Chain A
Amino acid sequence: AQRVTQPEKLLSVFKGAPVELKCNYSYSGSPELFWYVQYSRQRLQLLLRHISRESIKGFTADLNKGETSFHLKKPFAQEEDSAMYYCALRGWGGGADGLTFGKGTHLIIQP
């Protein structure tokens, strides 16, 4: 079975400090990994996916197959980054054509 673990329910950092939201996964094959974000009073939306290897709003995430991780990083946090972040995995064999979400991390950027 595939599983996504986000160990931190809440992460609080100061503006300008580096941010790292952790995501670990369990899957035997080659997964697709995603980060979704939900800002206050806005819809849940895709932030980035590992396949595109892009940087969105200063965030990057690298798939580390050896450590089965897909941590989300930003070198200098901004107040507008405060939001709920979900890591998601698409595998082959799980339910719903294989898309599994983690439980989410609430990121708070303090001024």
Chain B
Amino acid sequence: DGGITQSPKYLFRKEGQNVTLSCEQNLNHDAMYWYRQDPGQGLRLIYYSQIVNDFQKGDIAEGYSVSREKKESFPLTVTSAQKNPTTFYLCASTYSGLAGELFFGEGSRLTVL
């Protein structure tokens, strides 16, 4: 079953704690993206990667870090510097960085305790 898998679906972290969200795709897509989805804010780009071992900051990269060691994987680490409480993270991928159709994961909801 091809697609994008995000895990975990629900995650809790304490203040001062770093957590990592997983995003895996078996679609052989080159480009991968991380977005935050907040009510009334739409989708805001955190980081993106067009090829392995390369990634770029999006509009709200502060407090986050990523890696792209494999084509299939693009994990996102939410660091203790990220102060926002509960929010929803979406991972997406596409064949190339210039394509229009993004394929999205089901999302991960992170709650800060």
Q: Do A and B come from one complex?
A: yes
Interface of A toward B, CB cutoff 8 Å? 6, 9, 32, 34, 36, 43-46, 49, 51, 86, 90, 95-97, 99, 101-104
**A95 / chain B contacts, CB cutoff of 8 Å:** 45, 56, 58-59
Considering the complex, give the chain A residue whose CB is closest to the CB of B57: A95
Q: A96-B56, A103-B41 are in contact. Are A34 and B100 (CB under 8 A)?
A: yes
**B50 / chain A contacts, CB cutoff of 8 Å:** 97
3 smallest A-B Cβ distances: which pairs? A103-B42, A97-B97, A101-B43
Interchain CA distance A77-B42 in the complex, whole Å = 23
Say which size band chain B's interface belongs to: 20 to 34
- Which of B16-24, B63-71, B73-81, B101-109 lies at the binding interface? B101-109
Smallest beta-carbon distance A76→chain B, Å? 27
Within 36-68 of B, Cβ neighbours of A (below 8 Å) are at: 40-45, 48, 50, 56, 58-59
Interface of B toward A, CB cutoff 8 Å? 31, 33, 35, 40-45, 48, 50, 56, 58-59, 90, 92, 97-98, 100-107
**B35 / chain A contacts, CB cutoff of 8 Å:** 101
- The residue in B31, B48, B104, B106 that gathers the most chain A C-beta atoms within 10 A of its C-beta is B104
Number of A-B residue pairs having CB atoms within 8 Å of each other in the complex: 53
Interchain CA distance A66-B107 in the complex, whole Å = 37
Smallest beta-carbon distance B60→chain A, Å? 10
Contact of A9 among B40, B43, B90, B97 (CB under 8 A): B40
Smallest beta-carbon distance B21→chain A, Å? 16
Interchain CA distance A44-B92 in the complex, whole Å = 9
CB–CB A86/B42 < 8 A: yes
Interchain CA distance A13-B106 in the complex, whole Å = 28
Smallest beta-carbon distance A73→chain B, Å? 20
**B48 / chain A contacts, CB cutoff of 8 Å:** 96-97
Interchain CA distance A32-B33 in the complex, whole Å = 19
Identify 9 residue pairs between A and B in the complex whose beta-carbon atoms are under 8 Å apart, listed by A's number. Answer: A43-B104, A46-B101, A46-B102, A95-B56, A96-B45, A99-B45, A99-B100, A103-B42, A104-B43
CB–CB B101/A49 < 8 A: yes
CB–CB A44/B90 < 8 A: yes
